[in-house]
Amino acid sequence: MSLTSILKEKKSDILRIWFDAVLLSYPQDTANFLIKEKDRFANPVGFTYQHNMEIIFDSLVGTTDRDTVLPAIDNIVKIRNVQNFAPSQAVAIFFLLKQVIRQYTNEHIANGYRDDELLALDAKIDNLALAAFDCYSSLRELMGDIRIREAQRRIQKLMDRTNIFNDISDQEGDATNERT
Amino acid sequence: MADDKKKPEELANISYRLPEKSWMDTPVDFRKGTYNYGAVAEKAKYLGLPHARKWQPMDADWQLPENWKEIILEGMRERLDKFRSFRIFMDICVRCGACADKCHYFIGSGDPKNMPVLRAELLRSVYRKDFTAAGKIMGKIAGARELTVDVLKEWFYYFFQCTECRRCSVFCPYGIDTAEITMMARELLNLVGLNIDWIVTPAANCFRTGNHLGIQPHGFKDSIEFAVDELAELTGAKVEAPINKKGAEILFVAPSADYFASPHYYTLLGYLLLFHEIGLDYTWSSFASEGGNFGLFHSNQVMKRLNAKIYMEAKRLGVKWVLGGECGHMWRVLHQYMDTMNGPADFLEVPKSPITGTVFEHAKSTKMIHIMEFTSDLIKNNKLKLDPSRNDHWNVTFHDSCNPARAMGLLEEPRYVIKACCNNFHEMPENTIREQTFCCGSGSGLGTDENLEMRLRGGFPRANAVKYNHDVYGTNLLLCICAIDKATLPPLMEYWVPEVDVGGIHEMVGNALVLKGETRRATDLRGTPYPEPEPAQSEGKEVAKDV
Ligand code: SF4
Ligand code: SF4
């Protein structure tokens, strides 16, 4: 049996174990809530994880294209970026998938799959994790931009009245204001 | 599982499992991005606050007054005697957990101390230790603990991580209002000089000049005149905006951000157009130039002092009643406290719309109504000609701001006005609106630059519902009737749902309002051009929606 077929067949088991492993990064009470509350609006974090982890998993077995998987990674990293995690912890959950898959297949699959298949899978997961790094760092940048724009919006009309931003945008042709 | 097999988290070589310690023994980690800066000493002094000093939460030594513990416990005793609700809330929680997962901060952060029940427990544990017999004798077993500097730091961290939104109280079978517990905790912290700057500085500015940026009367006047000029350019209307006009019928008080911030400003344009069109006899006041009341987030004394300006100005100008703009916490203060704090306003009359004749009996005592009540009444009585197609470039949804929704039950009026002014309106999911609305995550003085990370956590449940609407209906504008929301939802959207903009309902009214003798509008109030030719606007009748 090929590794891909194994993954396809055991998808729900592996996803569950992966989610359990991700939940270990939260205190017990929180983990219970994240897994038990099924309403996607009452529990947006739990929902976002589960929904997007499935998309990411599908990309490993070749049923999801890159345009779909990148937003899925972004949705998850966005959450971990603002929660109490170090950058490494924020993206580590993607690497974790390697271990989850190895452990699962070692325990449950009698007929071995080929090593080159596993290597190829590792490479795919590494790519996911690298994409997660990119997301993480662009989100940090975005937060910096958000701060600046927020400070500007706070006094936007005062500035318009005293013509400060207008002068800059006139000279540089840059649309600092939605309306000047 | 075979013994030699490692667990996933061990293989990843990252410490995943968090140490399971009791919440009482887990100290606070002041991670950058999650807390607010301390108040600037001069501003605290200006308000006459106790123990004003230079300090910051990240300092190891908070330079507390020597007898800080005594001060806090005495303050607690005083408040337990004075506010019956405080004592009841300290006593009756049965820890049923119904509120636990209802706080947006818990949902977004995953930090258990953001569960309302645990947040309250931070204070309750000290209450038990010092004010109950069981706690005095049995200590920790009875859930009691000593008040220490670490506990105080924990209070500061978590009580400035509660937006006083009251969502949790909707679910508590006993009606325990954690927001009020937070208010008490903040008052106690204030007694030893622990405040945050984004509350103290705006409060000091409001006290001094009447608005939170500290803009002086001539600056206020310039701002309003600037808006009048812009309206002339945008719509051709020659609007009048009287300031400090004695003997006007109505005093209008808006949150100050409406005249200097974006997107608030477009709401201001909407008010001005509306008042012009109906010929309202009203006035602005350059002294009560702030509807918002940052005192609410500080202490009952500061709240009272700031709120007093509204009645004082109403009296000085000799108006009959007061109309308030699109503001959130102004209404919490008004509905819950104004009457007993600064009333009775017996020099005013019960608000009566001069246009429709409607008497707003529910405001018999405060003499002040919300502009949503006023405008919805105008529409209901067919006094406005509206062309909702002028908002067709917007696909809108409505965020119930915590205070108007939960504190004053302003649920139907905003929706009624939106439906009259916009053709594309879709509600967000049921458990995220009306009484159950999710907070913006930045209210009650927490909308600062330095704690953006915490705000993005707390705002996630709200943003998640907006994202759903965006994905399903193509929503591109989030409407709200609160100045704090208009300031804090745009960053939230930029992070979580960048396709969605933020605006006020009176901006929609201003766009849709067909003025008498109006020529075709080339742009909306933001200056965005309408497509050419504008759909049948000149015929008015076919498109104007009479509601
Ligand atoms: S819902 Fe009320 S009684 Fe239950 S834990 Fe929360 S505050 Fe206590
Ligand atoms: S009042 Fe709002 S922010 Fe405070 S604990 Fe309750 S739900 Fe959370």
Arithmetic mean of pLDDT over chain B: 90
* Contact at CB, A149 and B14, closer than 8 angstroms: no
* Contact at CB, A30 and B112, closer than 8 angstroms: yes
**Tokens at A168, concatenated:** 């800059």
pLDDT given for residue B11 in this prediction: 43
Q: Where are the alpha helices (DSSP H) in B236-366?
A: 257-260, 264-278, 300-317, 329-333, 339-342
Confidence class of residue B302 from pLDDT cuts 50, 70 and 90?
A: confident
The CA-based diameter of chain B, rounded to the nearest angstrom, is 87
Q: How many CB atoms lie within 10 A of CB A8?
A: 15
* Residue B144 neighbours by CB under 8 Å, 6+ apart: B125, B126, B128, B129, B132, B134, B135, B136, B138
C-alpha distances in Å from residue A168, one per residue of A147, A172, A177, B130, B395: 19, 6, 10, 60, 32
Q: Taking the domain B201-380, which CATH number applies?
A: 1.20.1050
Residues with CB under 6 A from ligand 1: B 93-99, 116-117, 172, 174, 176
Which of A32, A37, A41, A106 has the highest number of chain B CBs within 10 A, making it the mutation to test binding with B? A41
Residue listed under structure tokens 């905790």: B185
| Protein fold of B388-512 | Rossmann fold (3.40.50)
Domains of chain A: 3-143 (1.10.490)
Report the chain A residue with the minimal C-alpha distance to residue B107. Answer: A43
pLDDT given for residue A172 in this prediction: 42
**ipTM, interface predicted TM-score of the complex:** 0.90
Percent of chain B with pLDDT over 90: 73
* Contact at CB, B259 and A157, closer than 8 angstroms: yes
* Contact at CB, A44 and B111, closer than 8 angstroms: no
SS3 B161: coil
- C-alpha B178 – ligand 1 centre gap (Å): 9
Confidence class of residue A66 from pLDDT cuts 50, 70 and 90?
A: confident
Confidence class of residue B305 from pLDDT cuts 50, 70 and 90?
A: confident
Question: What's the rounded mean pLDDT across residues B124-131?
Answer: 92
Q: How many CB atoms lie within 10 A of CB B443?
A: 25
Of residues A29, A78, A95, nearest to B112 (C-beta): A29
pLDDT given for residue A67 in this prediction: 87
Q: Which atom of ligand 1 sits closest to the CA of residue B95? A: 5
Question: What's the rounded mean pLDDT across residues B182-207?
Answer: 92
pLDDT given for residue B19 in this prediction: 53
Question: In chain A, what residues touch B106 (CB-CB under 8 Å)?
Answer: 30
* Contact at CB, A146 and B494, closer than 8 angstroms: yes
Among residues 132-151 of chain A, which lie with CB inside 8 Å of chain B? 139, 142-143, 145-147, 149-151
Is A39 in CB contact (< 8 Å) with chain B?
Answer: yes
Q: Which ligand is nearest to the CA of B436?
A: 2
pLDDT(B397) > 70: yes
pLDDT(B12) > 80: no
* Contact at CB, B12 and A92, closer than 8 angstroms: yes
Confidence class of residue B405 from pLDDT cuts 50, 70 and 90?
A: very high
- C-alpha B100 – ligand 1 centre gap (Å): 8
- C-alpha A1 – ligand 1 centre gap (Å): 53
Question: What's the rounded mean pLDDT across residues B259-271?
Answer: 95
Question: In chain A, what residues touch B100 (CB-CB under 8 Å)?
Answer: 29, 33
* Contact at CB, B226 and A161, closer than 8 angstroms: yes
Of residues A42, A45, A107, nearest to B110 (C-beta): A45
Q: H-helix or E-strand containing B283?
A: strand B282-283
- C-alpha B304 – ligand 2 centre gap (Å): 23
Which of A35, A146, A166, A169 has the highest number of chain B CBs within 10 A, making it the mutation to test binding with B? A146
SS3 B542: coil
pTM of the model: 0.91
The amino acid present at A129, given as its one-letter code, is A
Of residues A24, A43, A145, nearest to B16 (C-beta): A24
Is A89 in CB contact (< 8 Å) with chain B?
Answer: yes
* Contact at CB, B461 and A41, closer than 8 angstroms: yes
Q: Taking the domain B12-30+50-194, which CATH number applies?
A: 1.10.1060
pLDDT given for residue B15 in this prediction: 46
pLDDT(B473) > 60: yes
Of residues A44, A145, A153, nearest to B490 (C-beta): A153
Indicate the range of A125-134, B54-63, B296-305 predicted with least confidence.
Answer: B296-305
pLDDT(A167) > 80: no
Instruction: Identify the top-confidence range among A107-116, A157-166, B29-38, B538-547.
Output: B29-38
Of residues B8, B111, B257, nearest to A21 (C-beta): B8
- C-alpha B125 – ligand 1 centre gap (Å): 15
Indicate the range of A92-101, B298-307, B310-319, B425-434 predicted with least confidence.
Answer: B298-307
Q: Which ligand is nearest to the CA of B160?
A: 2
pLDDT given for residue B212 in this prediction: 80
* Contact at CB, B491 and A149, closer than 8 angstroms: yes
The count of residues in chain B is: 547
Q: What are the domain boundaries of chain B?
A: 12-30+50-194, 201-380, 388-512
Q: Distance, in angstroms, between B450 CA and closest chain A CA?
A: 9
pLDDT given for residue B332 in this prediction: 81
Q: Where are the alpha helices (DSSP H) in chain A?
A: 3-9, 11-23, 28-36, 44-60, 66-82, 87-108, 115-154, 156-162, 164-172
Of all protein residues, the one whose alpha carbon is nearest to atom 6 of ligand 1 is: B99
Confidence class of residue B3 from pLDDT cuts 50, 70 and 90?
A: very low
* Contact at CB, A155 and B260, closer than 8 angstroms: yes
CA dihedral B86, B90, B92, B98 (to 10 degrees): 100
* Whole-number Å distance between alpha carbons of B217 and B219: 5
Of residues B213, B468, B491, nearest to A150 (C-beta): B491
Q: Distance, in angstroms, between B150 CA and closest chain A CA?
A: 20
